[in-house]
Amino acid sequence: MSSEAPNPTPAYDSQVVYGDKALYARLNTLITDHQSKKDTTNLRQVESFEIPIRSGKAWVVKKGQVLTLTTPHGPQVGDLNIFSLTNPRERLWASRTRQLHASHVSIGDRLWSNLPYLRPLCTIIGDSLANYGVDGNGGRVHDLLGTRCDPYVNKILADSSFDYHCHSNLTRAILPYGLHESDVHDVLNVFQVTGLNRDGKYFMSPCPAKPGDYFSVLAETDLLCALSTCPGGDLSVYGWGEESARRMLETCRPIGVEVLEIVEGKRDEVLEGWRESEVANRRGGGYEGLHGLGMPVFGV
């Protein structure tokens, strides 16, 4: 009998969820060439900025544009929220994305929205840490297992107040867009290594990113994105309470944000066959939302 643990078949094992792999492979080539400076003629910069340490910012990414997050100054974890720009009730659904793809995501995986919409908000097309794999502790990078740090759990665990947890950073970031604290949702922890130990308990490991590492997605519809530069920095030191917050400060670095679009004359060629994603209950295109009732209980 083999001593290896069994590897059961995934419950949601379908190639349908991955979309047009040839299209995303073309985009991966563009991103790789752009980041390596091998070819910067196919993508045009729309916006570029850095988010300071222990802060948050929100910005718009239009459908067909590319969002790239970078670690220009070295390792740093970022907590990412994603909304539909036209309907912020539609937002990243971390748990369904875990089921459809994996607990940690990379090139080819897609980030899906909540019910009743259920569509890919964006697709990962570039990841300089794609070969990280599984480390000696069972950790993987770009985490969907956990969620954002927040001041409420900090108060419970350490009986202290701290206003710059990721939940608070994201709350401040989305306020200018008419959203508020209850709109902040479970995140994708970009550049973060996590896993489950033998007892099934969540653990975190230091961020492996180096200056110049990147994570890129194609917007499948118009998006509002918000990112917090985690107060835990690169997670080489972490804990709860004021003393831990002081110790972690030295591990904090900014995260770079770049929004790109394919240049005129190349867009039709590169995005051949692509179209904006559609919500799952669009009439004629999926489930119509009756739930066994005589008329819909919601509208889109």
- Please check whether residue 298 lies inside any domain of the structure: no
Q: Which of 52-56, 70-74, 181-185, 295-299 has the lowest mean pLDDT?
A: 295-299
- Please check whether residue 226 lies inside any domain of the structure: yes
pLDDT band for position 299 (50/70/90)? low
Q: What are the φ/ψ torsions at residue 153 (nearest 5 degrees)?
A: -70, -30
Q: Which domain holds residue 105?
A: 16-270
Q: 287 vs 257, which has greater pLDDT?
A: 257
**What global pTM score does this model have?**
0.94
% of residues, the chain, pLDDT over 70: 95
- Please check whether residue 238 lies inside any domain of the structure: yes
- Please check whether residue 300 lies inside any domain of the structure: no
Q: How many domains does the chain have?
A: 1
- Please check whether residue 292 lies inside any domain of the structure: no
- Please check whether residue 111 lies inside any domain of the structure: yes
pLDDT band for position 3 (50/70/90)? low
- Please check whether residue 36 lies inside any domain of the structure: yes
- Please check whether residue 102 lies inside any domain of the structure: yes
Q: What's the pLDDT score for residue 1?
A: 42
